[in-house]
Chain A
Amino acid sequence: MTATAGRPILEAEGVARQFGRFVALGGVDLALEAGEKRALIGPNGAGKSTFINVVGGQLAASAGTIRLDGRDVTGLQPHQLARSGLGRTFQISRTYRQMSVRENLVAAYLVARGHGYSLSRGRLRALAAEAEALLERVGIAGLAERPADDISHGDRKRLEFAMVLAGEPRLLLLDEPTAGMGLKERHELMDLVAEEASGRGLTLLFVEHDIDVVFRIADRITVMARGQVFAEGTADEIAADREVQRIYLGEGH
């Protein structure tokens, strides 16, 4: 690992996860510098999503330590991690399908601001303008009244991203943010993600299969294979790595 200035915002040490006898993660070490954009790539079954789920608290680690801003957060519940500044999207975007796009975002704001249990409707009015502005920024303001179930897959990804931004996270985990999207949509969404991350000084860890997207966005790339970190480096380093080409880039190219 390269030594860079500043303290890592996320440090994973020997993070392992087993499902019965199947080892999904066999001791992953990974550190993210504050503000960097890191792509997590690797063939299917490499353990990328499992790693994201362990860091996000959706899955418990079988072994290892995870530190957020230097604080040991291993074993914390997702809502505790979210309050510590971790935001995430899911591989299959999770939104409140029967609620309108606006309500989805308002719900996210309420939770983020600690008003989830409030009985005051004034809180809702106070958030309306903010929600509107954020919908505008992610480009779905025109869909505000529509149920989340009713909008396109890509727009739902944008909505989920906005919901995460509402929580003002410092670390953002995106699990295949562009899965199932067309080429153009995909680039537009990731440009938006990169822009918001840079503008807000967020640290980004994203799982991505589209190599063009990865090279376009990521400062650094971590390659996983079979539950291990296989290689790590800048885009150029990874592109030049023969072994990586063999196990990953060669496939399907």
Chain B
Amino acid sequence: MSAARIDWRIVAAGCLAVLAAIALGGRGGAPLVTEMLLMALFASSLNLLMSYGGMVSFGHAAFFGLGAYGLALAVSRFGLPVAAGLACGPLLAGLLALVFGTLCVRLSHIYFAMLTLACGQITFTVLFQWYDFTGGDTGITGFMAPAFGLDERWFAVVVLGVVVACLLALWRVVNAPLGITIRSVGEDPERVSASGLNPRRVQLTAFVIAGTLAGVAGSLFAALQGNAFPDYAGLGFTLDSLIMVVLGGLRSFGGGLYGAVIYVLLRNYVPLLVTEWELVIGVILLLVVLWSPEGFAGGLQRIGRRLRSEPRP
């Protein structure tokens, strides 16, 4: 995790690969790629907290869900145009991240995690129960044409643009002084405090950035489906994001990205082979944690190091 410039060749290669998958992926390709991209952004936002800020959130889907509801409510209840709604989603998520974050960063470690769990469950419950406003368990549907009525492939291209822009912004953050500060707090908040900066405020800043980006992912997810359901803020999505980060690799910027690609592929293709696909994911997670605790990215780095230090004739 050293501060580095953006390698535009990698960015370009990644974008081309995604575009190729969209173009050549057939009927199911574009939606799968879109889901992957949105999960990549969602997981990367959590990765900012976990890999850089040293914070494990058990309620991160709250902000994904709030992003979705920000859009759905703005359009269905307040009659705003969809474009404005897409701004409302991340805004709502960011605002609630500020509120919940202020509460959660008062404590550390498992206590922080429990507070985020509580905030996540509160969000889910409000969305689930407030029938008059949020539609309760029936969610909000029919407020917009799924994918803006665009062809799924074009929608995937739009999502690619937004996700790449968000990830570049995130890269910028983690490699700027702010990123160093966030990592410092992740490593030793007492040292940061003794150096003259309130670590809680740094944690809150990271929490709001992460919540807002999760909100972007959630908004676009709602736009893709043309609906919003309480599940988007539920424990299932939170667990998805945690699993993606761990699979992809803690302590790596690409962790969320790799994790999302692997996880979405597994979730889509393993059920075709076995009915108990959760079992397969569970076993894979177990193997990763035991043998490559730094996930796919850590494994890649190890292979890279081995290749460089032991050149085979």
Q: Do A and B interact?
A: yes
Task: Report the bound CA distance from A116 to B185 in whole Å.
Answer: 11
**Given A96-B187, A116-B181, A88:B194 Cβ within 8 A:** yes
Contact check, A163 vs B191: say whether CB atoms are below 8 A apart.
Answer: yes
Within 8 A of B (CB), among A76-108: 77-79, 82-83, 87-88, 90, 94-100, 103, 106-108
* B298 to A: closest C-beta gap in Å: 13
Total number of residue pairs linking A and B with CB closer than 8 Å: 108
Task: Report the bound CA distance from A78 to B184 in whole Å.
Answer: 16
Contact check, B3 vs A94: say whether CB atoms are below 8 A apart.
Answer: no
Contact check, B176 vs A107: say whether CB atoms are below 8 A apart.
Answer: no
**Chain A: which residue is nearest B175 at the CB level?**
A121
Q: B194: which A residues are within 8 A, CB to CB?
A: 56, 58, 78-79, 82, 87-88, 90, 94, 164
Contact check, B197 vs A79: say whether CB atoms are below 8 A apart.
Answer: yes
Contact check, B188 vs A119: say whether CB atoms are below 8 A apart.
Answer: no
Question: B1, B187, B192, B251: which contacts A111 (Cβ < 8 A)?
Answer: B192
Q: Is B2 in the interface zone, CB < 8 Å from A?
A: yes
Q: A87: which B residues are within 8 A, CB to CB?
A: 194
Contact check, A119 vs B197: say whether CB atoms are below 8 A apart.
Answer: no
Contact check, B178 vs A119: say whether CB atoms are below 8 A apart.
Answer: yes
Task: Report the bound CA distance from A98 to B185 in whole Å.
Answer: 12
Contact check, A124 vs B3: say whether CB atoms are below 8 A apart.
Answer: yes
**Given A98-B251, A116-B202, A118-B178, A111:B197 Cβ within 8 A:** yes
**Chain B: which residue is nearest A106 at the CB level?**
B180
Q: Is B311 in the interface zone, CB < 8 Å from A?
A: no
Interface string of A134-159 (1 = CB under 8 A from B): 00000000000000000000000000
Question: A58, A77, A108, A119: which contacts B195 (Cβ < 8 A)?
Answer: A108
Question: A88, A97, A120, A160: which contacts B177 (Cβ < 8 A)?
Answer: A120
Q: Is A71 in the interface zone, CB < 8 Å from B?
A: no
Task: Report the bound CA distance from A19 to B187 in whole Å.
Answer: 27
Q: B190: which A residues are within 8 A, CB to CB?
A: 58, 78, 90, 94
Q: Is B205 in the interface zone, CB < 8 Å from A?
A: yes
Q: Is B173 in the interface zone, CB < 8 Å from A?
A: yes
Q: Is A167 in the interface zone, CB < 8 Å from B?
A: yes
Q: A107: which B residues are within 8 A, CB to CB?
A: 180-181, 183-184, 192, 195
**Chain A: which residue is nearest B180 at the CB level?**
A107
Contact check, A116 vs B197: say whether CB atoms are below 8 A apart.
Answer: yes
Q: B192: which A residues are within 8 A, CB to CB?
A: 79, 107, 111
**Can you report 15 residue pairs joining A to B where beta carbons are below 8 Å apart?**
A77-B193, A78-B190, A78-B193, A79-B196, A97-B187, A98-B1, A106-B180, A107-B181, A107-B192, A111-B192, A111-B197, A116-B202, A117-B181, A120-B176, A121-B176
